Structure 1
Amino acid sequence: MRLFKKAAGFVAAAALFAAVAPAATAAASPRSTCYGGRVCLYAGFDYNRGQVDHWRDFTKDDSNFADNNWLNWDFSNSWHSMNNETSSIRNRVGCSSTLWQHPGYTGAHSTFTHNSNDGFLANNAIGNNRASAIDIWCH
C-alpha cells in the first residue's frame, strides 16, 4: 500500500510539472530577433517571452507614441496604443537611440547603443511602461 501511495504522489507531481513546464519554456516573440537597421520595442518583458506578442520597430524618430498602435505577431494592427506601454528594447539601427518619458523628447530618458538589448526596462531611468517617444541619433 505504501508503494502505491508513493507512485500516486509521483504521478501527481509529474502531472503538475507537465502543466507548469510549458509556460516556463514559452518562446520569445518571432520579432524578438529585430532586423538590422531597426529599433524594436516590445510591450512585454524579455521581448514578450510568454506574453501577448505586441511589438513595433522604428527606423526614425517618433516624437509621440500616442498615435501608434502595437503590432501583433503576424504584423496586423493590435489596436492597442503603445504610449506608456514599452517594457523591453533591441537596438539594431546602427547608432544610439533614446526612449523618452514624455512626447516631444522630454522627461526621464534612457539611451541604448547600437546592438544593445534590454529585456527589463524597469531597471532604467525610462522605467517600465513609461516611454512616449524615441529619438534615433543616426540623422
Structure 2
Amino acid sequence: MRLSKKAAGFVAAAAMFTMVVPATAAVASPRSTCYGGRVCLYAGFDYNRGQVDYWRDFMGDDANLIDNNWLNWDFSNSWRTMNNDTTSVRNRVGCAATLWQHPYYTGAHSTFTHNSNDGFLANNAVGNDRASSLDVWCR
C-alpha cells in the first residue's frame, strides 16, 4: 500500500513525536520529603507510609485548619478537611512550630523544634487526630 506524500509526512512526524516525548513519569510523593522552610502535616502515621497519602505543608501560622483540605500525593485537592485529622508531623521551617488542639491556638498543644519529626502524634499532648491550628514561632 502506498501513502501519499502528505500522509507519509504525517506518519513520519507522528513517529518522531512519539520517539522524542518520554513516557510520563510518576509524580514523587512528598511524604518522603519535607522541604526546608516548611512544616509538613500528614493524615497517616509514619508520614503516610502504606496508607492513603494525604499531606499538606505550611510556611507560617494557620489559626484554623477547618478551612484547609489535605492534598493528594499528586498535589490535587482531596476535598477532605484537615481539622482533627493530623497524625504525623515534620518540621523544617527553621524554628519551633506548635500544633494546638483547638482553633486560634487554644487547648492542649505540642511544640516541635526545627528538624524534628513525629510519626505518631498519639504520644504528644495535642494527640492523634486532634490538631486544629498551627503556630510557627519564627518572629
Structure 1 segments (4+ residues) deviating >3 Å: none
Cα distance in 1, alignment partners of residues 32 and 120 from structure 2: 14
Q: Which residue of 2 aligns with 1:97?
A: 97
Residue 33 of structure 1 and its aligned partner are, at CA, apart by 1.3
Cα distance in 1, alignment partners of residues 35 and 134 from structure 2: 18
Q: Secondary structure at the match of 2:46?
A: helix
Q: What is the Cα-based RMSD across aligned positions, in Å?
A: 1.2
Q: Secondary structure at the match of 2:32?
A: coil
In the TM superposition, 1:100-139 aligns within 5 A as: 100-139=100-139
The aligned length equals 112
Tell me which amino acid in the other structure corresponds to 1:41. L
Cα distance in 1, alignment partners of residues 33 and 128 from structure 2: 21
Q: Secondary structure at the match of 1:104?
A: coil
Tell me which amino acid in the other structure corresponds to 2:67. D
Residue 31 of structure 1 and its aligned partner are, at CA, apart by 2.8
Q: Which residue of 2 aligns with 1:13?
A: none
Determine which structure has more spread, i.e. the larger CA radius of gyration: 2
Q: Secondary structure at the match of 1:31?
A: helix
- What is the TM-score when the length of structure 1 is the normalising length? 0.78
Tell me which amino acid in the other structure corresponds to 1:73. W
Is 1:69 the counterpart of 2:78? The answer is no
Q: Which residue of 1 aligns with 2:12?
A: none
In the TM superposition, 1:15-34 aligns within 5 A as: 29-34=29-34
Is 1:60 the counterpart of 2:60? The answer is yes
Residue 50 of structure 1 and its aligned partner are, at CA, apart by 0.2
Is 1:50 the counterpart of 2:50? The answer is yes
Q: Aligned pair in 2 of structure 1 residues 71, 114: CA closer, same or farther (>3 Å)?
A: same
Cα distance in 2, alignment partners of residues 100 and 91 from structure 1: 15
Cα distance in 2, alignment partners of residues 93 and 78 from structure 1: 24
Q: Secondary structure at the match of 1:70?
A: strand
Tell me which amino acid in the other structure corresponds to 1:42. Y
Q: Secondary structure at the match of 1:122?
A: helix
Tell me which amino acid in the other structure corresponds to 1:57. D
Residue 40 of structure 1 and its aligned partner are, at CA, apart by 0.1
- What is the TM-score when the length of structure 2 is the normalising length? 0.78
Tell me which amino acid in the other structure corresponds to 2:96. S
Q: Which residue of 2 aligns with 1:80?
A: 80
Contact 2:63 2:103 in 1 (8 A): yes
